[in-house]
């Protein structure tokens, strides 16, 4: 377990700011407790400082997880956000997309969102912006990348993709073995 | 020419390492005049070359390397003259002059020294030596100020000695340069081979890591670019303890990200607003078109052919046609139509 280097911090913040923008400071400067980011076995964990200190007492091989896992660094040092970060992305999301009930199941199985499944989308979403995906009852389902901007998605035909799938809460069951290393 | 130039003559000598044939026989004066000169010289050269090659194949053992027959050449026996002038002898340093005058000779010392305190043999220098600066107890001599820091005094004296030695060394070098010498070779540079900047950089890297902490705390020399993976160990911030350094890095990265944001006015949103207003006002020229004819699905990575389609493409088209038919009559389409009728799709925040 160690703090992130400058390059790693940059990679993580870039990814996070795609979804939550300036609210990143709200994640770092919290009023209740001091939170910190730590790297353990190529995964980035976001935890309050007392939790992190206790986790530091566990052997490295035997420490599975602590706090919240935001994502992992791949072998070529690229950062991928995981669905476990959804709890922190959802409240601060800049651009949101709501799915119709018929398309929810498709998304939870890992498919992309087509225009036919699109319920609502935040106004002025640029293309390739980070989107947090909700159901019509405002439950966060996952996140992805906008395939089209709001204007473009209104003019698109029903089978066109409007959101590329990146992570969904179905992964807790599908990728149970790999989510936590 | 029937005349053989090698008939009654001194046999040539060979230096096979340099592919050299030494034929001391003088040229025939009669043949060097007139029109016979060129053919005569060509004949002489040909015969000498022939005897050199025959000597090579006679004298040396032939080997076989893959498909070729090869004869390894012996080392050259002819001494060649120097390419560059010989190096000038270094002028003696001040100590060397003094030692010569006073006939001080170097005493070879043994590496191990008897250490009374621990009662064992210790090396004179290096790891495990009896270092006075590492003593846990130092007596205050009678002549010294009782409030003086003895440990600090030892440290200061050592620093002064090191600095004095360094000064003398630099003075020697400058005297050498003044008397027409060269800079001393860097020990990490491989004995004087520091001509290129690459070798100098290599020597710097080696010198920096040649200390007890493997260069972890060596300060960066001005203009030096350190590769982020250079050196055996990477240096990370401490895990626990004060989080200020970590915060500092995070603040800096946030600042960089904020600086990169190019569009503080959010022109995209402004354009969207404008577009919606135009549509709501019922401007025919700018209104969103009705349901366009759905385009054919394009398969990624497949080059579309001009005329005939492949069987797979036809199959796909028929499938898409089936879905389109279903979609045209299904509930989804009714919903789509009703949605298109309503003015806005995106909910304004």
Mean pLDDT of chain B: 78
Confidence of residue B295 (pLDDT cuts 50, 70, 90): very low
Q: How far apart are CA A13 and CA A131, in angstroms?
A: 16
Mean pLDDT over residues A114-118, rounded? 94
The verdict on a CB contact (< 8 Å) between A123 and B258 is: no
pLDDT at B8: 66
List, for residues B44-96, the tens digit of each pLDDT value: 999 999 999 999 999 999 888 888 899 999 999 999 899 988 887 878 888 89
Given a cut of 90, is residue A35 above it in pLDDT? yes
CATH for A95-175, options being 1.10.3720.10, 2.60.40.10, 2.30.130.10, 1.10.1760.20: 2.30.130.10
- Which among A23, A2, A166 is positioned nearest to A84, based on CA atoms? A166
- CATH class assigned to A2-86: alpha beta
Q: What is the pLDDT of residue A148?
A: 93
Q: How far, in Å, are A63, B257, B318 from residue B262 at the CA level? A: 42, 10, 46
- The residue-averaged pLDDT of A48-58 equals 95
Task: Name the residue with higher pLDDT: B291 or B184.
Answer: B184
Q: How many angstroms from the chain centroid is the CA of residue B320?
A: 57
Interval B104-113: pLDDT, tens: 999 898 889 9
pLDDT higher than threshold 60 for residue B240:
yes
**What average pLDDT does the segment B178-191 reach?**
71
In percent, the amount of chain A with pLDDT more than 70 equals: 99
CA A142 to chain B, closest CA, distance in angstroms equals 20
Alpha helix stretches (DSSP H) within chain A: 6-20, 24-28, 49-55, 86-89, 101-108, 150-155, 171-174, 176-179
Q: Name A43's bridge partners.
A: A40, A72
Interface test with B, best of A103, A127, A129, A151 (most B CBs within 10 A): A151
Look at strands B13-15 and A161-168 and give their pairing: unpaired
Q: What share of chain B in percent tops pLDDT 90?
A: 24
Say yes or no to pLDDT of B187 above 90. Answer: no
pLDDT tens-digit map of A126-160: 999 999 999 999 999 999 999 999 988 999 999 99
Mean pLDDT of chain A: 93
Closest chain A residue to B267, measured at CA: A124
Please determine, for residue B306, whether its predicted confidence score (pLDDT) is greater than 80: no
Q: Read off the pLDDT of each residue in B129-133 and give the average, rounded to a whole number.
A: 81
Mean pLDDT confidence for A14-21: 93
Phi, psi of A92 (to 5 degrees): -105, 15
Kindly state whether A28 is in contact with chain B, defined as any CB-CB distance less than 8 angstroms: yes
Asked if residue A119 has pLDDT above 70, the reply is yes
The answer on pLDDT for B249 being more than 60 is: yes
| pLDDT score of B309 | 55
B239 with A38: Cβ contact below 8 A: yes
Location of each CATH 3.10.450.220 domain in chain A = 2-86
User: What is the number of CB-based contacts under 8 A between chain A and chain B?
Assistant: 93
In the predicted structure, residue B186 carries a pLDDT above the cut 60? yes
Closest CA to A156 of A122, A130, A117: A117
- Check residue A56 and give its pLDDT: 95
Hey, is the C-beta of A49 within 8 angstroms of any chain B C-beta? yes
How large is the average pLDDT for residues A10-37? 92
pLDDT at B1: 43
Which residue in the set A2, A34, A116 is minimally distant from B243, CB to CB? Answer: A34
Task: Give the tokens for residue B347.
Answer: 């909910």
For position B29, what pLDDT does the model report?
87
């Amino acid at each position: 377990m160690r703090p992130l280097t400058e390059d790693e911090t940059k990679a993580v913040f870039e990814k996070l700011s795609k979804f939550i923008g300036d609210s990143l400071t709200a994640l770092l400067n919290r009023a209740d407790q001091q939170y910190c980011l730590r790297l353990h076995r190529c995964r980035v964990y976001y935890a309050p400082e007392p939790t992190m200190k206790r986790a530091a007492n566990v052997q490295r091989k035997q420490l599975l997880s602590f706090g919240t896992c935001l994502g992992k660094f791949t072998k070529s040092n690229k950062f991928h956000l995981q669905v476990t970060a959804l709890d922190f992305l959802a409240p601060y999301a800049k651009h949101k997309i709501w799915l119709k009930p018929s398309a929810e199941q498709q998304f939870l199985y890992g498919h992309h969102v087509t225009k036919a499944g699109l319920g609502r989308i935040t106004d002025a979403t640029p293309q390739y912006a980070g989107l947090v995906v909700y159901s019509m009852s405002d439950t966060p389902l996952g996140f992805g990348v906008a395939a089209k901007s709001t204007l473009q998605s209104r003019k698109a035909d029903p089978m066109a993709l409007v959101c590329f799938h990146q992570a969904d809460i179905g992964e807790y069951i599908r990728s149970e073995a790999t989510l936590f290393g | 020419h029937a005349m053989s130039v090698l008939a009654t003559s001194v046999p040539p000598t060979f230096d096979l390492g340099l592919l050299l044939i030494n034929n001391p026989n003088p040229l025939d004066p009669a043949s060097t005049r007139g029109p016979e000169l060129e053919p005569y010289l060509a004949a002489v050269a040909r015969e000498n070359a022939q005897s050199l090659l025959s000597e090579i194949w006679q004298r040396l053992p032939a080997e076989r390397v893959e498909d070729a027959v090869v004869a390894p050449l012996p080392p050259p026996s002819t001494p060649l003259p120097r390419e560059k002038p010989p190096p000038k002898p270094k002028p003696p340093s001040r100590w060397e002059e003094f030692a010569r005058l006073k006939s001080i000779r170097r005493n070879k010392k043994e590496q191990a020294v008897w250490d009374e305190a621990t009662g064992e043999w210790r090396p004179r220098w290096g790891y495990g030596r009896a270092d006075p600066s590492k003593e846990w107890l130092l007596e205050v001599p009678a002549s010294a100020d009782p409030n003086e820091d003895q440990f600090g005094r030892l440290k200061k004296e050592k620093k002064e000695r090191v600095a004095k030695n360094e000064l003398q060394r630099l003075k020697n070098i400058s005297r050498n340069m003044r008397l027409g010498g060269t800079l001393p070779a860097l020990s990490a540079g491989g004995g004087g081979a520091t001509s290129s900047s690459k070798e100098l950089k290599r020597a710097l890297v080696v010198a920096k890591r040649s200390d007890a902490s493997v260069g972890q705390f060596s300060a960066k020399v001005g203009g030096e670019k350190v590769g982020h993976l250079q050196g055996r160990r990477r240096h990370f911030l401490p895990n626990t303890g004060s989080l200020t350094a970590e915060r500092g890095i995070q603040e800096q990265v946030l600042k960089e990200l904020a600086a990169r944001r190019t569009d503080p006015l959010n022109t995209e949103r402004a354009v969207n607003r404008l577009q919606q207003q135009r549509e709501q006002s019922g401007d025919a020229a700018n209104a969103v078109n009705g349901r366009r004819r759905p385009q054919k699905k394009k398969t990624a990575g497949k080059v579309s052919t001009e005329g005939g389609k492949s069987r797979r493409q036809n199959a796909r088209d028929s499938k898409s046609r089936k879905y389109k038919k279903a979609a045209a009559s299904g509930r989804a389409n009714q919903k789509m139509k009703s949605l298109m009728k309503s003015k806005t799709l995106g909910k304004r925040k």
